[in-house]
């Protein structure tokens, strides 16, 4: 058994996979919105209410993990715990109450895990379309990670050319732009563009996109939610979303539709189906900023990420069975 726990700014996610000679099989998949980073932008602290919510979810995760007879576990925390001054005491409390030892990972490690989790898509001939590089982005609750990756289709390997992490996610952006008027929506887009322009100036990715050399992959609840809405799913289906190839015009059209629905107070499918529109809209603004700078024609939607990267890394490194503790995560991508 391989268990991966990802404690993010907005969500707490657990994935448990059994691995055998015939491949892997998902045993358990848990995802709860905990909003751990709620209020962090204003106070620099994890609030008592947010920590209590998160601890409830982590108790559920611990119970699901410990009922397995044999497992390898790696648990990570990201931006909220990187930023909050009381994160260390909170994680000590988590360990004491649940037995879970959660490691705070760096932005670079977070990017590497997301890339590793999406590796199947990087080497899929249909999804890659003979492109030599990949631009992968992951819109989180407290930060957004961007990876610029070179693909070697012959050796089926990938090299991380460069990456950046901006401290802007759906929760932090919502708390910074509190009124969320239409004017503020476009201010959010400009704000995010200013954060990522430096990365574009260094790597000149836009020119590669215009030469049709770049695969575009979106990893986030924002992108998967938009894809689900485009497909008009009555209930979210991961099987239909994960690996879906969309024209980016479809995504932009859905965002326009949401904006019209929100600010003209038209209560149709878009607003009714997604009651948490106040978190979706900041994610849409981040996507618009990314796509404005890097106008790819199509996008691969990935309902996977850090947990999948952890599982892949553990499986490939043949970690010792019955290891009920965390271990040092190996560097599984080639670095510059």
pLDDT digit string (tens) for the chain, length 336 residues:
899 999 999 999 999 999 765 667 889 999 999 999 999 999 999 999 999 999 999 999 999 998 887 789 999 999 999 999 999 999 999 999 999 999 999 999 999 999 999 999 999 999 999 999 999 999 999 999 999 999 998 999 999 999 999 999 999 999 999 888 899 999 999 999 999 999 999 999 999 999 999 999 999 889 999 999 999 998 999 999 999 999 999 999 999 999 988 887 655 545 444 446 678 999 999 999 999 999 999 999 999 999 999 999 998 874 433 344 343 333 332 222
Cβ–Cβ under 8 Å, residues 258 and 277 = yes
Q: What is the largest CA-CA distance in the chain?
A: 57
pTM metric for this prediction:
0.89
**Strand 244-247 and strand 23-33: pairing?**
unpaired
User: What pLDDT was estimated at residue 142?
Assistant: 94
What is the rounded CA–CA span in Å between residue 121 and residue 49?
Answer: 38
- Which domains are assigned to the chain? 2-106 (3.30.420.40), 119-302 (3.30.420.150)
């Amino acid at each position: 058994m391989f268990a991966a726990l990802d404690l993010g700014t907005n969500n707490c996610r657990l994935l448990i996979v059994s691995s055998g000679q015939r491949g892997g099989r998902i045993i358990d998949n848990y995802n709860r919105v905990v909003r751990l980073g709620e209020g962090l932008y204003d106070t620099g602290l994890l609030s008592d209410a947010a920590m209590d919510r998160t601890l409830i979810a982590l108790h559920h995760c611990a119970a699901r993990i410990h009922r397995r007879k044999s497992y390898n576990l790696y648990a990570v925390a990201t931006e909220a715990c990187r930023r909050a001054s009381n994160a260390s005491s909170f994680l000590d409390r988590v360990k004491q109450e649940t037995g879970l030892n959660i490691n705070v990972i760096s932005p670079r490690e977070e990017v590497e895990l997301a890339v590793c989790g999406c590796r199947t898509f990087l080497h899929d001939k249909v999804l890659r379309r003979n492109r030599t590089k990949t631009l992968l982005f992951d819109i989180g609750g407290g930060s957004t990670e961007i990876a610029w990756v070179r693909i070697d289709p012959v050796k089926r390997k990938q090299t991380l050319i460069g990456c950046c992490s901006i401290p802007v996610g759906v929760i932090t952006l919502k708390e910074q732009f509190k009124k969320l008027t239409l004017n503020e929506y476009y201010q959010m887009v400009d704000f995010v563009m200013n954060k990522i322009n430096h990365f574009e100036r260094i790597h000149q990715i836009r020119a590669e996109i215009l030469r049709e050399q770049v695969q575009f992959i979106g990893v986030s609840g924002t992108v998967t939610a938009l894809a689900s809405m485009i497909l008009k799913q009555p209930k979210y289906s991961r099987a239909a979303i994960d690996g879906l190839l969309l024209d980016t015009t479809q995504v932009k059209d859905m965002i326009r539709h949401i904006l019209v629905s929100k600010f003209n107070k038209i209560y149709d499918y878009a607003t009714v189906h997604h009651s948490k529109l106040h978190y979706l809209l900041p994610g849409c603004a981040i996507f618009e900023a990314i796509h404005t700078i890097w106008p790819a024609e199509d996008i691969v939607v990935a309902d996977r990420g850090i947990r999948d990267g952890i599982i892949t890394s553990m499986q490939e490194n043949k970690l010792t069975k019955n290891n009920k503790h965390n271990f040092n995560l190996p560097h599984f991508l080639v670095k510059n």
